[in-house]
């Protein structure tokens, strides 16, 4: 497995590989790899001639310095895991290489980023869109892989690709969960054993919402109220937001007559976790 640090070197190699007719896949990551990342990497490996993983903890997407400092890092473990799933190349630049002195260009996706994660973490999606656009320009993938766990992020990236006419396909893969339903996330590494036991409450609330929609309930507020009750019954949990939204526009929905996505962000102690469920409405009998 090759490791490249310099953007120019990565760009030249990608250009050469594309000239040779190779199909390139990219999985952008910030490291601290978990089963969710590994599922993306395996799929990328299976569908492309060359699978690239980027490994870069992007300072531009953290609205709080303490959050950036607390972001888990395990480069040695990451390299081993990446190699084990067959990654061909790791692109791992430094912050100075991605944002050299004088850097001043950012990508803003508008309406889609105003709510939910965008409202709770000002500037977050501007940082994500910017770094992802730069990674696409440097690595030049034909296909890039993202997890549904970061639902709003995946839509923002898809929107950016469409709006900027970027020549690649964005592939979104399902959430990978641990046995008790907790969505795989690098942030789970920061949970204490007690917090880890509390964390599946997000999934419990989503399951309850899904069951109600499947049973034919259409009032979003009643379902959100039930989700709040479930989460508030867990002493270590504190809700940031819970929402029932249109699955593409992410605007709140009041009556559930077609597919919706439930989005939630919950603090478990000092760790903020997000999760979601895309729910189809059963066909009328």
Two structure tokens written together for 222: 């009643």
Q: Rule CB under 6 A: is residue 188 a binding residue for ligand PAF?
A: no
Q: Quote the CA–CA distance of 105 and 260 in Å, as a whole number.
A: 34
Applying CB under 6 A, among 78, 117, 150, 195 the residue interacting with ligand PAF is 150
Q: Quote the CA–CA distance of 253 and 111 in Å, as a whole number.
A: 16
- String of contacts with ligand PAF for each residue 222-241, x by CB under 6 A: --------------------
Q: Which residues of 166-204 are buried (b: 16+ CB within 10 A; e: fewer)?
A: bebebbbbebbbbeebbbbbbbbebbeeebbebbbbbbb
Decide whether 117 or 234 has the Cβ nearer to ligand PAF: 117
Q: Quote the CA–CA distance of 206 and 261 in Å, as a whole number.
A: 10
**CA separation, residue 203 to residues 33, 49, 197, 207, 275 (Å):** 21, 36, 12, 6, 7
Decide whether 78 or 150 has the Cβ nearer to ligand PAF: 150
Smallest distance from the beta carbon of 144 to ligand PAF, in angstroms? 9
246 is catalytic: no
Q: Rule CB under 6 A: is residue 154 a binding residue for ligand PAF?
A: no
- String of contacts with ligand PAF for each residue 6-45, x by CB under 6 A: ----------------------xxx---------------
Decide whether 128 or 253 has the Cβ nearer to ligand PAF: 128
Q: Are strands 271-279 and 260-268 parallel, antiparallel or unpaired?
A: antiparallel
Q: Rule CB under 6 A: is residue 128 a binding residue for ligand PAF?
A: yes
Q: Rule CB under 6 A: is residue 276 a binding residue for ligand PAF?
A: no
Decide whether 150 or 234 has the Cβ nearer to ligand PAF: 150
Choice among 34, 37, 124, 246 that is catalytic: 37
Site for ligand PAF in 61-120 (CB under 6 A): 61
Q: Rule CB under 6 A: is residue 275 a binding residue for ligand PAF?
A: no
Please count the residues of this chain forming the interface with ligand PAF, following the rule CB under 6 A: 10
First to last CA, the chain: 54
**CA separation, residue 256 to residues 1, 128, 227, 259, 263 (Å):** 48, 30, 16, 7, 15
Contact (CB, 8 A) for 173 and 145: yes
Q: Rule CB under 6 A: is residue 261 a binding residue for ligand PAF?
A: no
Largest interatomic CA distance in the chain: 62
Give residues in contact with ligand PAF (CB under 6 A): 28-30, 58, 61, 128, 131-132, 150, 153
Catalytic residue list = 37
């Amino acid at each position: 497995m090759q490791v490249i640090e310099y953007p120019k070197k990565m760009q030249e190699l990608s250009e050469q590989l594309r000239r040779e007719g190779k199909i390139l896949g990219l999985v952008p990551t910030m490291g601290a790899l978990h089963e969710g990342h590994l599922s993306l990497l395996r799929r990328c490996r299976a569908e492309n001639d060359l699978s690239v993983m980027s490994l870069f903890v992007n300072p531009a997407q953290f609205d709080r310095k303490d959050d950036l400092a607390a972001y888990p890092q395990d480069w040695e473990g990451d390299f081993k895991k990446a190699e084990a799933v067959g990654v061909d190349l790791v692109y791992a630049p430094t912050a100075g290489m991605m944002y050299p002195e004088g850097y001043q260009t950012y990508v803003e996706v508008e309406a889609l980023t105003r709510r939910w994660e965008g409202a709770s973490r000002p500037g977050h999606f501007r940082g994500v869109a910017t770094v992802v656009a730069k990674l696409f320009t440097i690595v030049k993938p034909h296909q890039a892989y993202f997890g549904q766990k970061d639902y709003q992020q995946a839509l923002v990236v898809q929107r950016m690709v469409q709006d900027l006419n970027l020549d690649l396909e964005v592939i979104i893969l399902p959430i990978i969960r641990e046995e008790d339903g907790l969505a795989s996330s690098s942030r789970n590494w920061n949970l204490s054993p007690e917090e880890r036991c509390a964390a599946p409450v997000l999934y419990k609330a989503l399951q309850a919402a899904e069951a109600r929609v499947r049973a034919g309930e259409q009032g979003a507020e009643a379902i959100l109220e039930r989700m709040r009750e479930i989460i508030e019954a867990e002493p270590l949990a504190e809700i940031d937001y819970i929402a029932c939204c249109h699955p593409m526009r992410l605007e709140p929905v009041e009556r559930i007559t077609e597919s919706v996505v439930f989005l939630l962000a919950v603090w478990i102690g000092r760790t903020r976790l997000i999760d979601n469920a895309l729910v189809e409405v059963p066909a009328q009998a």
